[in-house]
Amino acid sequence: MMSALGRLRLTSRRVVEGAMTGSHRSPLKGYSTEFADHREYVKGDDLRHLDWKVLSRTQRYYIKRYEESTTLRAHVIVDCSASMAYPRTPPRGAMTKYRYACQLAAGLGFVLIRQQDPVGLVLFNDEVVTQLPPMSSLSHLRRMLEALDATEPSSRTETGRALHTVVGLLKRRGLVVIISDLMDDHEQVARALAHLRQRGHDAIVIQVLDEMELRFPFEKTVNLRDMETGLRLTVHGAEVAAEYARRLNEFLDQHKRSCFEHHFDYVLASTATPCETLLTALLSRRQR
């Protein structure tokens, strides 16, 4: 997988900041910056960048945005709540959602460090469990892999709260990659994504679900247990399959719409899809 991903580059479609000259855009203003576009003024913006000519013509407040080449700063945020441990006993050759998420995080970390962009790692469940600041060395990649490997999914999911905490920790605008099953309150997640957008970050949201969660192949009576609350439910698969599919599609559409509203990439990932296939498709699309 690494050899295939090494030929690709992960680029941010939005403005990012960095301390080193590279191949990505930054809003930093200096001799090498050029005017890029406008955006509407929001409270707190520096009035030095207000476009007075546009104001005089339209009576509307717009801020000038500039760009220059800079290194991308990325953070990979991985859900390690108990629901990510599904299934408890994966079929031969399969893996839990968390192990799949770890492979995606490792692949993205490799690509970013290969292109000399610093990448950080955050693990969360109902709180931030682990945080590694962005760095761009192979030794840092090893630390990321060790942190992922040493963590076992546990506790309940509080995606919204954890993401708000993460946004507060990010000192520079950059790319945030969220890898989670998003088994959480949609409104809380949507508000956290809006917070990311408000702070000027680009984002990729990869929603990881097991193939059985997507297909619901159960036809006979099955005992279900919530991996985070312990709640148990006995259902007849054939009787609830249609309603399950309806609610699943509604659940997925809600998260997808939230991402599209903020111009974030959304990817639905089945654990049955090889990680290298998913990442290659994602990175190729963003390159274009």
Angle between helix 138-150 and 97-114 (nearest 10)? 170
For the chain, residues classed under CATH 3.40.50.410 are 72-287
Q: Kindly provide the residue ranges of all beta strands, DSSP E only, lying in the chain, ordered along the sequence.
A: 24-26, 34-40, 62-70, 74-79, 119-124, 128-135, 175-180, 202-209, 221-225, 232-236, 265-270
Cα angle 22, 26, 29 (rounded to 5 degrees) comes to: 115
pTM of the prediction? 0.81
- Percent helix, strand, coil in the chain, to 5, is 40, 25, 35
Convert the pLDDT of each residue in 178-222 to its tens digit.
Answer: 999 999 899 999 999 999 999 999 999 999 999 999 998 888 887
**pLDDT bracket for residue 30 (50, 70, 90):** very low
CATH code of the region 72-287: 3.40.50.410
Q: Output the six-digit token pair for 84.
A: 């990510």
Q: Please state, for a pLDDT cut of 70, what percent of the chain lies above it.
A: 85
The pLDDT score that the predictor gives to residue 285 is 85
| 236-279 pLDDT per residue, tens | 878 888 898 999 999 999 999 999 999 999 999 999 999 999 99
Given a contact cutoff of 8 angstroms between Cβ atoms, the answer to whether 170 and 203 are in contact is no
